[in-house]
Amino acid sequence: MALFLSAGIVVKLVLGLLIFFSVVSWAIILFKLFQIHRANSESERFMDFFWKSKRFDAIASQVDRFANTPLTVLFNEGYGELKRVVEGGSGRSDSSVLSTDLGGIENVSRALRRATNSEITRLEKYTTFLATTGSTSPFIGLFGTVWGIMTAFEGIGKTGSASLAVVAPGIAEALIATAIGLVAAIPAVMAYNHFQHKIRVLIKGMDSFSTEFLNIVQRNIAGK
């Protein structure tokens, strides 16, 4: 704190910006840890429930129990589109309308893809700030350090003394900017990589669920 208060205005601005990045990054880290942990745990519970249930309408009546998993969004979109297709083709004499009409299975598949893309966007929200913090904070800190050293040498030139007692305080004030930059960047980079791995796992789960959902629909229609 003493080094911060004795630093120049530019270094103070740099430190303030880095502290802002660090605080926001930690808020995002805590939020995403909670969000992704709930998504993973509820995805597992929903898949167990999905395979134990025998009817889509029974699953639809219970999806509110799994509000935090992206799989329920996919199910709602796919089941909703499936009902619209079946109701739209119920007046036709061809009972296999869902499997032969281009607006049938393909519509359900498109609904699942839209829901998947929407959920990926939601899961990745705010993670770009972590990437930005991790990549820019060291350079912002380095800028503060360079500026502080320039100021320190300017002071040396004015006083005409290069003793350790004159040089050391200015160098210490300058180096604190790099230190804070690393403090902000390292947790952000580690958290970003961790979240990207967890999100990729969730994306694979959504892709697998979409494939299984379409397979179930096609098998049921083909069996009619």
CA atoms within 13 A on the CB side of 153: 5
With pLDDT > 70 as the criterion, what percentage of the chain qualifies?
Answer: 82
Residue 65 lies in a domain: no
Residue 54 lies in a domain: yes
The candidate with the shortest Cα–Cα distance to 200, out of 188, 190, 192, 210, is 192
Task: Name residues of the chain where pLDDT drops below 70.
Answer: 1-7, 88-104, 155, 159-170, 221-224
The candidate with the shortest Cα–Cα distance to 184, out of 16, 23, 11, is 23
Q: Return the pLDDT at 175.
A: 85
Residue 9 lies in a domain: yes
Residue 217 lies in a domain: yes
Q: Return the pLDDT at 112.
A: 92
The candidate with the shortest Cα–Cα distance to 40, out of 196, 190, 199, 191, is 199
Q: Is 97 within 8 Å of 89 (Cβ atoms)?
A: yes
pLDDT tens-digit readout, 150-162: 877 776 777 666 6
**Which residue range(s) make up the domain with 38?**
2-60+126-222
pLDDT tens-digit readout, 134-153: 999 999 999 988 888 887 77
Residue 71 lies in a domain: no
pLDDT tens-digit readout, 70-89: 999 999 999 888 888 777 65
CB atoms within 10 A of CB 159: 10
Residue 218 lies in a domain: yes
Residue 136 lies in a domain: yes
Q: Return the pLDDT at 107.
A: 84
Domain count of the fold of the chain? 1
Residue 171 lies in a domain: yes
Distance CA 120, CA 204 (A): 11
pTM (two decimals):
0.80
Q: Return the pLDDT at 100.
A: 41
